Amino acid sequence: MLDIILEKAGKQYNEDWIFSNLDYTFSTNQATVILGSNGSGKSTLLQVISSALMPTTGKISYELKGNSIKAEHAFRLMSIAAPYIELIEEFTLTEMICFHRRLKPLVRNMTTSELIKVCQLENSAEKPIKYFSSGMKQRLKLALAIMSDTPVLLLDEPVSNLDRAGIEWYNDLIKKNTSDRLVVVSSNSIEEEFGFCKNQVKLEDYKKVPDRDTLNLHY
């Protein structure tokens, strides 16, 4: 069991507060969607959860089976698919998956060719990614994240660039590969992205400028 615990967490850029006073615990088997409009800070919160960014105020902590994990080590627990995560476009599909597998193993010791089949991109195995359509790239990003053997899965607007068949493929992949994982999805209220989520965090509820006592609570 893994918990990611935010206590009075806030993130500020210049004079603007992206979110503040956020108390929430993300837990294994309790999939959560972060809801908000474009530019509301969903991606920023997801990056704080992933330990890529630290909160300006408040605290974030990671507990695996009751043991504390340092924030600088938490990234090893994470897989993420997001618009700002770039693929290496000079690589072929096969090369990209092989490279990824050196960084994070796949579930069930899945091979490169097996993951290509999961992506339904068998005819593009040797094609450079720079020639992929946006939908093909999104399938690859999602498959690399979802099929990585990590306890945490973070998905930022996962159905962007997917057609109807792609959305059905995504939901089938999620259904089969999120048991015993901590899953967080950010969404613009597109229900196909988060229908499986049990809990919600609405960013509009955390826009109030923090009070002085909260400003004194730092990570």
Burial label, 91 (beta-carbon count in 10 A; 0-12, 13-18, 19+)? middle
The domain that holds 200 is classified in CATH as: 3.40.50.300
**Distance (Å, rounded) from C-alpha 1 to C-alpha 178?**
13
**Distance (Å, rounded) from C-alpha 219 to C-alpha 210?**
15
Confidence bin at 219 (pLDDT 50/70/90): very low
Helix (H, G, I), strand (E, B) or coil at 80: strand
Mean pLDDT confidence for 197-214: 83
CA distances from 160 to 27, 137, 200, 204 (A): 25, 11, 20, 22
The model carries a pTM of 0.92
Tell me the pLDDT tens digit for each residue of 124-155.
Answer: 999 999 999 999 999 999 999 999 999 999 99
For 88-144, the three-class secondary structure string (H helix, E strand, C coil) is CCCCEHHHHHHHHHHHCCEHHHCCHHHHHHHHCCHHHCCCEHHHCCHHHHHHHHHHH
Can you give the residue range of the structural domain that contains 59?
2-215
**Distance (Å, rounded) from C-alpha 83 to C-alpha 102?**
22
> What is the number of domains present in the chain?
1
Mean pLDDT confidence for 100-125: 97
Distance of CA 1 to the CA centre of its chain: 18
What percent of the chain lies above the pLDDT cut of 90?
87
**Distance (Å, rounded) from C-alpha 219 to C-alpha 61?**
9
Mean pLDDT confidence for 23-28: 97
Tell me the pLDDT tens digit for each residue of 41-97.
Answer: 999 999 999 999 999 999 999 999 989 999 999 999 999 999 999 999 999 999 999
Indicate if the alpha-carbon torsion angle 18, 5, 63, 106 is positive or negative. negative
